[in-house]
């Protein structure tokens, strides 16, 4: 089940603000950069962080879901963009578009856009499976209690309903109920008890939540905190790497080093550009290095 699961991992324990900053900065420069070397470096970096966070299986599920959209981006750009000077294939005449003309530049530009999308999707995947929704919304508690409570309940609704559906579905199957019959009407009737049980379970959960809020005096007096998020050395190290990535990214954007020309002809690439892209990607690998060191080195685990 692809919902948040608590794990004994450094990345699951870092401060929410640090993790949100990392994902936002990664997504921002994925949009600003167009050079394929830098995009490949960002993709490899976030893949290593996801691997260190022990959510690689969930990430592969996201990649499978995103592959159709990436293919769509590639096909639309290849078929409808007639720019580029390196012609790969001449096709038939299409009304409104003219003679079909597939160029190398259009294909590579589509792949580049697909890679950019995968980086942003990976950043949100990391944020979804590493950061608990309650911890994220806890940061916004000072902005207003009521709307944060409503947002917290809303974000928890779908995962709880998915969990209830899976639990009740397994119970019904253990009782001998078949959901794979040939008759569509019979399958629908077999699913009705599951939906009834989900409605009852949701109502009971709502009553329990209301009683808990009343027992704890919600909305009466000044808001108190059961626990506080503290910044630790690991948070400062990751935040420092994110800050350096922002400074370096702004400099690369200002100098035009992260730009790339696809049309009308693909610009030449040089080895120093690849080395500079690898060096820049190291800023985003710091969380993965700390996570692996946290698991392997007991002294480092105590220090950070």
Residue-wise pLDDT for 61-97, tens only, equals 889 888 888 999 888 888 888 787 788 877 777 776 6
Domain membership flag for residue 228: no
Domain membership flag for residue 118: yes
Q: What is the mean pLDDT of residues 265-284?
A: 92
**pLDDT tens-digit profile of 11-28?**
988 988 899 999 999 999
Domain membership flag for residue 155: no
Q: Show the domain range for 188.
A: 163-215
The token duo for 55 is: 């959510």
pLDDT band at 40 (very low <50, low <70, confident <90, very high): very high
- How high is the pLDDT of residue 196? 86
128 and 28 in one domain? Answer: yes
- How high is the pLDDT of residue 303? 80
Number of structural domains the chain divides into:
2
83 Cβ contact partners less than 8 Å away, ≥ 6 residues apart: 103, 105, 106, 263, 264
Judge contact between 194 and 162, C-beta under 8 A: no
Q: Which of 185, 215, 245 is the last residue of a domain?
A: 215
Domain membership flag for residue 126: yes
105 and 63 in one domain? Answer: yes
The token duo for 21 is: 């900053």
Distance CA 167, CA 170 (A): 5
Domain membership flag for residue 3: no
123 and 19 in one domain? Answer: yes
- How high is the pLDDT of residue 1? 45
Query: 85 in helix, strand or coil?
Result: coil
Q: Is the pLDDT of residue 51 over 50?
A: yes
In eight-state DSSP terms, residue 233 is H
Give this prediction's pTM.
Answer: 0.79
100 and 24 in one domain? Answer: yes
Distance CA 50, CA 148 (A): 28
71 and 21 in one domain? Answer: yes
115 and 167 in one domain? Answer: no
Q: Which of 215, 244, 279 is the last residue of a domain?
A: 215
pLDDT band at 272 (very low <50, low <70, confident <90, very high): very high
Domain membership flag for residue 115: yes
Domain membership flag for residue 140: no
Cα dihedral 280, 281, 284, 287 sign: negative
185 and 77 in one domain? Answer: no
Q: What is the mean pLDDT of residues 184-188?
A: 76
Q: Which of 155, 181, 215 is the last residue of a domain?
A: 215
Q: Is the pLDDT of residue 257 over 60?
A: yes
237 and 131 in one domain? Answer: yes
Domain membership flag for residue 222: no
Runs of H (alpha helix) within the chain: 16-32, 36-52, 56-80, 104-130, 133-138, 145-174, 184-215, 233-255, 271-296, 298-303
Query: Which neighbouring-strand residues pair with 93?
Result: 99
Cα Rg of the chain (Å, integer): 25
180 and 31 in one domain? Answer: no
Q: How many residues does the chain have?
A: 304
- Of the two residues 288 and 192, the one the predictor is more confident about is 288
**pLDDT tens-digit profile of 211-250?**
887 887 777 767 666 667 778 899 999 999 999 999 999 9
CA angle 282/283/285 to nearest 5° reads 60
Q: What is the mean pLDDT of residues 265-292?
A: 93
Judge contact between 258 and 33, C-beta under 8 A: yes
- How high is the pLDDT of residue 202? 84
37 and 96 in one domain? Answer: yes
Q: Is the pLDDT of residue 144 over 70?
A: no
The chain-wide mean pLDDT, for the chain, equals: 84
- How high is the pLDDT of residue 255? 92
Judge contact between 59 and 130, C-beta under 8 A: no
128 and 246 in one domain? Answer: yes
Distance CA 87, CA 130 (A): 45
Distance CA 169, CA 152 (A): 26
Query: 144 in helix, strand or coil?
Result: coil
Q: What is the mean pLDDT of residues 99-116?
A: 88
- Of the two residues 253 and 150, the one the predictor is more confident about is 253
21 and 111 in one domain? Answer: yes
């Amino acid at each position: 089940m692809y919902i948040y699961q608590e794990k004994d991992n450094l990345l699951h324990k870092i401060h929410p603000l640090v993790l949100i900053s990392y994902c936002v900065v990664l997504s921002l420069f994925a949009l600003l950069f167009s050079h394929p070397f830098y995009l490949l470096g960002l993709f490899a970096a976030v893949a290593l962080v996801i691997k260190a966070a022990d959510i690689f299986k969930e990430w592969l599920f996201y990649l499978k879901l995103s592959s159709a959209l990436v293919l769509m981006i590639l096909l639309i750009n290849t078929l409808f963009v007639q720019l580029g000077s390196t012609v790969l294939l001449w096709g038939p005449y299409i009304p409104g578009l003219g003679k079909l003309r597939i160029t190398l530049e259009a294909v590579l530009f589509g792949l580049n856009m697909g890679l950019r999308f995968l980086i942003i999707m990976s950043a949100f995947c990391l944020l979804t499976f590493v950061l608990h929704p309650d911890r994220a919304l806890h940061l916004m508690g000072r902005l207003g209690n009521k709307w944060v409570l409503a947002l917290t309940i809303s974000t928890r609704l779908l995962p709880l309903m998915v969990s209830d559906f899976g639990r009740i579905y397994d119970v019904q199957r253990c009782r001998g109920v078949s959901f794979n019959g040939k008759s569509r009407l019979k399958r629908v009737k077999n699913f009705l008890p599951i939906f009834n049980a989900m409605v009852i379970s949701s109502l009971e959960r709502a009553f329990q939540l209301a009683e808990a809020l009343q027992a704890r005096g919600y909305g009466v007096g000044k808001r108190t905190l059961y626990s506080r998020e503290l910044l630790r050395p690991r948070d400062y190290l990751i935040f420092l790497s994110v800050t350096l990535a922002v400074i370096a990214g702004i400099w690369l954007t200002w100098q035009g080093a992260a730009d790339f020309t696809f049309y009308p002809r693909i610009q030449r690439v040089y080895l120093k550009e690849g080395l500079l892209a690898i060096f820049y990607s190291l800023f985003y690998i710091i969380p993965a290095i700390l996570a692996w060191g946290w698991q392997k080195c007991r002294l480092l685990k105590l220090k950070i």
